Every structure is written in structure tokens, then in C-alpha cells.
Amino acid sequence: MSFSFTVEPAQFTKAQLNGIRMALAVAGLAALIIGISILVWPGASLLLVAWLFGVYFLITGVARIARGVASKSSSTGFRILSVLLGILIIAAGIYILANPVFGVEVLAFAIGIAWVLEGVAALVDPPAGSRWFNVLYALASIVGGVLVFFIPVAAVVILLKISAIALIIAGLVQVAQAVTLGRKAKAAAAR
């Protein structure tokens, strides 16, 4: 079984093809606008990420409390724990909204922990292949994770800028795809 992720313009009606092109163009322009905005206003972008993180915690906390109250089939201990956890999550969300830099630091520490754990896992259980590349990858992951611990906000700013550049490139590619999609089909139909 094989999958093809290409769009063959000849398989679609003109209206369908225009819809695909419009979707590509809108997604590409959105990616360009967001990517450029992040590069131009990295501080505001970080604050937005922190606030979204805080709002997510508020919503998750409310959902956790609702689950604890509404899940009549669960044990009393689980229900109480769920409500208490929900209250803690809401408190964390409020704290992050009041102090967004803290939210950015928490996000950075989560990334740092993940990188360190990934590096340790790569050393402990290496995949088949070149051992040296695996050791190099593991060390880079561990060092990157440790650096994030020491400069969390700067690390997140760097990651945010890399993401912005990736969004800009992806947006340019999608806009180019929207412009060029169907040209071959038009040329073949004109012959």
C-alpha cells in the first residue's frame, strides 16, 4: 500500500481546484503574517504565548473540576483529587496571566527537560546505525537542554525566531503552490 500526498490538478473540477488554491493562499498568507509579526515583535509574541498558556491552564482547570464533580461513577478519592488538581491548575493559570514571564520560563524548562531526557534516552537505548552520530545527537540534546535551564527566556526567544522563519518559508511555499497549482493542467488542456 502506498500513499500519495500530491494533488493532481486533472482530477479536480475547476471549482475544486480554485478552492484548493484559495486554501493554500490563505494558509500561506496567514503563515507569512504570523511569522513576520513574531520577528518584528518577539517580546509581544512571547507575552501572547504566555497568556495563551495561562488561558489554557484556566480552561483545563475548569474542565478538570467539572470532570471531578460530574463523574458520579468514579471513586470519591478520584473526584476529590480531580477537583483539587483543577483548582491548582486554575491557580497556575491565574499566576501565569499575572506574571507572563513565569509562563515563558515554565515553557522553557519543559523544553529543556524534554531535551535532556531525549539525550539520555539516546545514550541509553541507541538506535541501529552509526554510534558516533547517536552520541553526537545525544550530547547536543543534553547540552541544549542544560543551556535552556540557564537562559530560559533567551532560549525561548531563539526558538520563537526559528519558528517564525519556518512559518515565513512555509508561507512562501504555500503561496507559490497556490499560484502555480493547475498551470500544467491548463497548459495540457490548451493543447
Does pLDDT of 5 surpass 60?
A: no
- Between the alpha carbon of residue 151 and those of residues 24, 39, 52, 95, 163, the distances in Å are 37, 20, 22, 21, 18
What would the mean pLDDT of 50-76 be, rounded to a whole number? 89
What's the pTM value of the predicted model, to 2 decimals? 0.65
What percent of the chain is modeled with pLDDT above 70? 89
- Per-residue pLDDT reduced to its tens digit, 14-55: 888 888 889 989 999 999 999 999 999 988 888 888 898 889
The reported pLDDT for the residue numbered 189 is 58
CA distance 31 to 22: 14
Contact 184, 191 (CB under 8 A): no
Q: How far out from the chain centre does Cα 55 lie?
A: 16
Q: Predicted confidence band at 186 (pLDDT cuts at 50, 70, 90)?
A: low
